[in-house]
Amino acid sequence: MNLKSSAVALAIASLSTTAFAESQVTLYGTVDGAVVVNKAKGQDTTVTMEDGIAGGSVWGLTGTEDLGNGYQVGFTLENGFSMDDGANGEAGLAFGKQATLNVTGGFGEVAFGRMGGLASYEGGYSIWNASPFGTDYLQAGLGNVFVTGQINNNSIVYITPDMQGLKVHAMYSNGTADDSEQKWSRNDHYYGLGLTYEIGALNLTGIIERFDYKSVRDAGDKSAMVYSFSAAYDFEVAKAYFGYQYANRYHSIDQLEDWNIGGKGFNQNAFTLGAEVPAAGGTFKLAANYGFGKVKSADAITDNEGNQVTINKKKFNRFTIGAAYEYPLSKRTFVYGWGAYSTAGKLLKAKEVESNFKTWSLGLGLHHNF
């Protein structure tokens, strides 16, 4: 090989090394398992091994490449799984939790793919910060009272640059489920607009979401609107959380998987108040959630087989409270214990459904990040 050829080869090798150095791929995840004692009204007390109590068991890949001039391209591929039997979190999906490609730069960030809604507490683009529990710790989590959205396919999100602590988040899904064989007007769509503001120890978030249910429009389901607000303040000796949400014409309640509330759905006001306090080398968490509402279309409630469900009361309320203590064994691992309780009234107190809402749980678990 002559000197000129050697110089060219060395230059190519140098460029390849530089490109490799500027591209990073990381394997990450969490594994969570616990022994759970659970009791629902009218049913036997159970003792089970469960996972995902203090955070879902997931594994994922994330990577970035520096494009120069302040631009980067990145991706996140994440899947949930059940630790006790190894089953996929989302049947038939390789990356059911999140699958996104993003570009960042001076303009902000744009990302595409499958992602959680702005108030979903799922994935990297959810911005709600209303509780120290999020949607974790069984009855203590927000999903037992609040509408926490969903993970949507075919999504795009744009986040503005930081404007003195203020950011705007805009999200749209062109079809929340696998609706590739349907035309646009028959897909279910999601629209989300959020503002986050951080100044010192204060974090504020406001979110507006719309779910249009176009795939079932023949059933008369109206589009749902959900308005969510949260405030968190770090006092150093403790961090306080507050959240409020108004859901208008929403059509499903997490604990009633067999029900679809069609027509005008239901309206609900919900509140949460919580705190996390450093204590004895660990962190103590506490939160209470309360919601009350009314079913607007009582004659439009159906079960999974399309049969009408008859109810005697339209109004309902529900309440949950929970406490947990997390103690770190290392930077990546903590042990935890918790207790949580939920109850409900009026419509949700009916004997046919009360076992879904009048429950309590407690247990011990271990959570590891990698």
Q: Find the mean pLDDT for residues 43-63.
A: 95
Q: Find the mean pLDDT for residues 236-261.
A: 92
Distance, CA of 123 to chain centre: 7
> Which pair of tokens denotes residue 140?
């203590």
Are 224 and 213 contacting, i.e. CB atoms less than 8 angstroms apart? Answer: yes
Q: Find the mean pLDDT for residues 195-206.
A: 98
If you write DSSP's letter for every residue of 116-184 in order, what string do you get?
E-TTS--STT------SSTT-SGGGSGGGTS----EEEEEEEEEPPPBTTEEEEEEEES-SSS-TTS-G
Q: Where are the alpha helices (DSSP H) in the chain?
A: 3-21
pLDDT in tens, 296-335: 988 888 888 888 888 989 999 999 999 999 999 999 999 9
Query: Would you say residue 38 has pLDDT above 50?
Result: yes
CATH architecture group of domain 38-369: Beta Barrel (2.40)
Q: Find the mean pLDDT for residues 189-215.
A: 95
pLDDT of residue 348: 94
pLDDT in tens, 104-131: 999 999 999 999 999 999 999 999 999 9
CB atoms within 10 A of CB 241: 22
Query: Would you say residue 170 has pLDDT above 80?
Result: yes
pLDDT of residue 1: 46
Residues 280 and 190: their CA atoms lie apart, in Å, by 44
Q: Find the mean pLDDT for residues 157-170.
A: 98
pLDDT of residue 10: 40
pLDDT in tens, 208-219: 999 987 776 555
Pairing of strands 98-105, 108-116: antiparallel
Domain boundaries, the chain: 38-369
pLDDT of residue 222: 82
